[in-house]
Structure 1
Amino acid sequence: MRIGAFSEQFGLSPETIRYYVNKGLLCPMIKNDRYDFKENDIDDMQLLLRLKSFKFSIVEIHRLLSLRRLSGFDSPNELSDYINILVDHKKKLQREKRELQGIISLLQDEIGSSSGKHSFNAKRKNGVPLQFLQYLACPSCKENLSLSNCSIEKDQILSVR
């Protein structure tokens, strides 16, 4: 089977298949300077995709594919080694999950405390306390602010017309 048909069978681009070949994850035969994928390549690709879905790294996938190519997981010891690798990886993912849950919890706390700050700031009024009026000046001429034809009601200065 040529690379186009092989990549189509797995819903991947030919470039992705070439990447896997270059990394040694797939080892197709070469005929007339073209890849020729056989049944064992299909088996390797299925395992590769399964391991990838389990979040194994490319290096780990390469090791597991090599182990299967060499042993075929035929003996109980080889199959046991494979199962132990899967169990260890599961434990690693469970640790990462706990760490991520802790980070998510901290983020939620930060969101909650930041939201509280936002609602506090929304209630806060903007402006200048009346006691500071004597320090205000015109930005253009630098003259002190003078108030005429105005009234002060509660916390606002209103013009009187």
Structure 2
Amino acid sequence: KDADLINAITTIISDSIYLRYIKKTITHEVITALKKDFNISNAIVEAKSIADLFTTKCDNESKVSHHLDHLTNLREAIAHTAEDISDRQFIDAIISTIPKQLSELASNLKRSYELHKQLNNLSDSAKKELTVSELITYIRSESAGKTKSTESSNYTSNHQNNNNRSSGN
């Protein structure tokens, strides 16, 4: 198996790099040497973090706050590397990974800021950009409101069902 893994690794690197590691016979040795020589682990972690930022989905509105915390932590981890994610990119990542209803509301908020900015360009007024913190606060607020209304309707439904059972006796 080690030979197969080493073969797979060597097929994706250039010949000049391969020649440096030709005497290595254990996969772990090859990977460790590559990490040491090319700082691959940081590049891989960075690439994975950026990919996760745009692909980690949250479909459950009750878990949106946790999801937003996770995205913020990913962005901070990426910022500690050489890569920087702009506010605009981060806002797009947030909107694309939250539940559909919240995504639509957040997109509308973003569009209203963009429209406001365009109108202000015509009148030379101060430009107002949507900030990450404003978007996150808005999404948390909307999510909390939806969660409370869902809990309230569940309570009402359960309470009515219990009353119907009681009156049936």
TM-score with structure 1 setting the length: 0.34
Bigger proportion of residues as strand: 1
Larger Rg: 1
TM-score with structure 2 setting the length: 0.33
